[in-house]
Amino acid sequence: MLGIEGLSPETISGLLDLSESYIDQNRSIDKRRDLLTGRTVINLFFENSTRTRTSFEVAAKRLGADVINMDVATSSVRKGETLLDTAMTLNAMRPDAIVVRHSESGAVNLLSQKVNCTVINAGDGQHEHPTQALLDALTIRRRRGRLEGLQVAICGDIMHSRVARSNIHLLLIMGARVRVVGPPTLMPTDIDKMGVEVHYNMKTGLKDVDIVMMLRLQTERMQGSFVPSISEYYRFFGLDREKLKVAKPDSLIMHPGPMNRGVEIDSEVADDLDRSVIHEQVEMGVAVRMACLDALIGGRRNAMGAAA
Amino acid sequence: MSGNVVRGVPPHAGSTAYINARIVDPTANSEYRGAILISDGKIADFGPTLFASGAPYGIESVDCRDLYLAPGIVDTRVHTGEPGEEHKETLESAGVAAAVGGITSLVLLPDTEPPFDDASLIEFVARRARQVKLANMYAFGALTAGLEGKELAEIGLLAEAGAVGFTDADRAVGNAQVLRRALYYAKAFDALIVHLPQEPTLSGGHMSSGVMATRLGLAGNPPLAEVMMVERDIRLVEMTGGRLHLAKISTAESVKVIAAAKERGLKITCDTAAPYFALNDLAVGDYRTFGKLVPPLRSEADREAIVEGLKSGVIDAIVSDHRPQDQDSKRVPFAQAEPGGIGLETLLPVSLELVHNGHLSLPQLFQRLSSTPARLFNLPGGKLAKGAPADLVLFDANYAWKIDRADLWSKTKNSPFDERPVQGKVVATIVGGRAIYRDDDFTSAAAAA
C-alpha cells in the first residue's frame, strides 16, 4: 500500500468498514486476536516518528503478529548501506509486511520494487501518508456519517505535507470538496490542478466549512525562509477561536500531530472537547492500521481488491 | 542490436566508392540518389551522376542498396567518466557507443575529475583519442577554474592546446560579472562559450515544477528559471559582442526570447538535447530516475515548442547530452539520484522521429545534427565537400525496433528512452574513410551479394 492516489471509492469504503469493526475490539478489555499469528511485521523507520511507529506496532500486536522495530537512524544505513541493500537484507528474513517511513518522496515505491512482501507506506517525504488519510476519513465518517459533499479545509504548510496530499486524494475520491489554505510560499505549484480550491487567508478559506484540518509547520521553515516569523504565522494562519467563527458552528477540528501550540493552533481550540477530534484521530489510527494489515496480510483479500 | 566495431585500423589509404546510396547533403539542403568516392580518407567526389552508369572498375565499392548516406553526426555535448569515473564510461567505451550511434565527431564536456581546466588534460584527450581510433574526439575547456563559476580558466592556453569551446558543463554561471568578463576575454581568441542557462538559486529542485511534481511530492525547478537566465545572457552578448551558444534549451519561453534576439541580429546560437523534443515530465512518473535530467524534462507544451524551435531553425543544433550514471547513482530515491541519461546510440533513431512526424526533412535534420554544430565549433567534419574528411553515416531510416537498454553498448545503461519503439538504425559509421562500425545484417548481405 503505497498511496491513496489511484484507489477506488469501494476500496476506501471497504477499508473504513473493516476499521470500524476494530474500534470496538480496541475498546474492550480483551484487545488481542490471533488473526496474524505467525506473521512477521517489520517497522522500518528511516525517519523518527514515535507516534506512527507505536500506532503500527500496537495494531500489529493486537492482531497477534510478531513485530520488529528497526530504528534505521542508528543502524547500518549510517554506515553507508543503501536503501535497497537494507530492503534486500530484510526481505531475506521473509517478513510478511514491511511498514516504511522515509524522508524522501518515492523511497517507499523504490523499496517495494525490490522486496516480495507487502509494503505499507508510513509516510515518504512530501509524497503520501495513506494511513493518516484513512484515519482522518474514519474520524470524519464516524462523526458526520459520510464524506460525500462535505466541505473540508486543509490549512498550513501544504507544500511540504504528505498528509495534505493523501487527504486531498482521498477526500476528492470520496466526493468531498477540498480547500487548501495557507501562505503562497507554502503552496505547491499548480495545486489547483489537483481539483482543490486555493485560499491565502483563513477568513475566506474557513467560511462555512464542515471540517478544519490543521497541518504541522516545521520549525526550520518558520524563521524567514518560507514565512517571516512564528508570531506572524500565528497571527494570520494559526487557528484560534476568532478565525474559527466563519466556519460552520459544528465544524470539526483535526490535526495529525504533534501540534505546535501557539504556532498553527491555539490551545483553546485544540482542547475544545466539543469540536476537537485530535485524540479520536489517534484512536482511529490504530483501528485503520489493523484494517490495513488485516486486508493486506490477513489472508482476506476482498477489502483491498486489486490494490493489494 | 548487433554489429561490429572495428578498432585499431590504420588510416585508410586508397579509394572506396559508396554507390547506390540516397545521399543527404545538409549544406546544399538536398537529397538524391548517387555515390560518394573516398580517397585517402577524404571525400574525393560525390553527386547524383557519379558512377551513375555502374559500379566503378578497379576500386573497392560498397553497394549501399538504397540506404541513406549522410555526413556523420557531430555531437557537441558528451560526458564520459575519463578521467575520474572510469567505471561509468571511458573514452574507449564512449567511442564504441558513438560508432554504433553514427557519431563521427564528439566534443567532450570538461566536468571530469579533475576538470579540463588545465591544458595538459586537453592534450590527454587528444592522445587517448588517437589510441582509441574511433570517432574524432575534441574537448571543451573549462570556462572557469574548477568549474566553480568564480575565476576565469586559462582560456587562451586551453585554446592553444586544442579546446574547441569553453563551458562549465551542467553548471550555470550565476555571477553575471564572471560571464561578462569571460565573453569579453574570449573575444581575443575568437572562442565560443557554451552556457547552460538555469538560474542557480531557482534550480535546486529535482524535476520541472507543475502538477506532476506536486503529486509526486518532489521539489520543482520552475521553467522560468531558464528563460530569465537566457534573457540575462542575451544582454551580456549585446554588451560584450562575445560568441555565446546556449545549451539544452528546454522551454517554450526560451525559444521565444532567443527568436527575438536573433531577429535583432545578435549572434547567439543554441541547441537542445534529444530528450527535450522527445519526452515530457510524464517520463519521471513513478519516480523513474532515468528521467532525471538537467534541465528537468518539461511539460508537453514546452516539448512541442522545442519541436517548433527546431523546425523554424531558432534552435540551431541537436546534441545527445550523453551522461552515463551507474546503478548506484540511479537506484536510490529520486531526490538523491544523480541526473543525466546516456544518448549516443539513441540520438539518430530518436531524432529521426522529427522526420517521420513531418517536422523536418532529412537534410534539415542533418543540418541540426552535423553541419551546423561542425560550423559553430570549427570542426572539419559534418559536411559533404570535396576534400572534407570522409566522416559518414549509412543508415536505414525506416527500420523499426525497440530500444532495450540491455542491448546498448555504453558502459552504463541509464537511457531515458529505454523501451521506446523507434524507426531508424545505423548500418555503418565511417570515419576518415574507414568503417568503424558495421551492422551484421548489412555485412552479411553485402557478402552474399
Query: Which residues from chain B sit within 8 angstroms of residue A193, using beta carbons?
Result: 211, 214
Of the candidates A52, A118, A131, A139, the residue annotated as catalytic is: A52
Is residue A129 annotated as a catalytic residue, yes or no?
Answer: yes
State the sign of the Cα–Cα–Cα–Cα dihedral B51, B53, B59, B62: positive
Between CA A164 and CA A147 the distance in angstroms is 16
User: Helix or strand or coil: residue B175?
Assistant: coil
Q: Which of A287, A285, A10 is nearest to A129 (CA)?
A: A285
Can you give the pLDDT at residue B3?
76
Q: Do B333 and A188 touch (CB under 8 A)?
A: no
Give me A196's grid cell: 482543490
Residue A219 has pLDDT above 80, yes or no: no
Nearest beta carbon to residue B334 from set A84, A106, A190: A106
pLDDT of residue B79: 97
Minimal CA–CA distance to B400: which of B362, B353, B443? B353
Cβ separation A194–B215 shorter than 8 A = yes
pLDDT at B448 over 60: no
A129: Cβ contacts below 8 Å, ≥ 6 apart: A121, A122, A123, A162, A163, A165, A166, A256
Q: How far is the C-alpha of B402 from the C-alpha of B346, rounded, in Å?
A: 11
Q: Which amino acid is at A302?
A: N
Catalytic-labelled residue, pool B25, B117, B281, B321: B321
Known catalytic residue at A51: yes
Interchain pair A189, B214: CB under 8 A: yes
Inter-chain residue contact B334 with A126, CB threshold 8 Å: no
Q: Residue B269: name the closest of B293, B295, B249, B240 by CA.
A: B249
Annotation says A79 is catalytic: yes
Which distant-in-sequence residues (6+ apart) come within 8 Å of B75 by Cβ?
Answer: B98, B103, B105, B106, B107, B319, B320, B322, B344, B347, B369, B373
E strand or H helix at B167: strand B166-167
DSSP track, chain A: ---STT--HHHHHHHHHHHHHHHHHHHSS-----TTTT-EEEEEESS--HHHHHHHHHHHHHTT-EEEEEEGGGSGGGGT--HHHHHHHHHHT--SEEEEEESSTTHHHHHHHH-SSEEEEEEETTTB-HHHHHHHHHHHHHHHS--TT-EEEEES--TT-HHHHHHHHHHHHTT-EEEEES-GGGSPTTGGGGT-EEESSHHHHTTT-SEEEE----GGGTTTTSSS-HHHHHHHHSB-HHHHTTS-TT-EEE--S---BTTTB-HHHHT-TTTB-HHHHHHHHHHHHHHHHHHHHSS--TTTGGG-
Model pLDDT, residue A260: 93
> What is the C-alpha separation between A31 and B161, in angstroms, rounded?
79
**What pLDDT digit, counting tens, does each position of B342-390 carry?**
999 999 999 999 999 999 999 999 999 999 999 999 999 999 999 999 9
Grid cell digits, residue B72: 556523420
B13: pLDDT strictly greater than 80: no
Take residue A177 and report the three cell numbers written for it: 470538496
Among candidates A125, A190, A193 on the partner chain, residue whose Cβ is nearest the Cβ of B217: A125
Percent of chain A residues topping a pLDDT of 70: 94
Check whether A211 has a pLDDT greater than 60: yes
Query: For residue A301, is pLDDT > 60?
Result: no
Residue B46, beta-bridge partner list = B36
Mutation site, B206, B208, B212, B216, interface A, largest A CB count within 10 A = B216
The pLDDT score that the predictor gives to residue B443 is 64
The single residue of A129, A160, A162, A169 carrying the catalytic annotation is A129
The answer on pLDDT for A105 being more than 70 is yes
Q: What is the mean pLDDT of chain B?
A: 94
d(CA B196, CA B140): 14
**Angle (nearest 5°) at CA B404 between B401 and B409:** 105
> Which residues of A fall within a CB distance of 8 Å from B333?
83, 102, 104-107, 110, 125
- The single-letter DSSP state of residue B311 is H
Which of A104, A109, A194 has the CB atom closest to B335's CB atom?
A104
pLDDT in tens, B310-325: 999 999 999 999 999 9
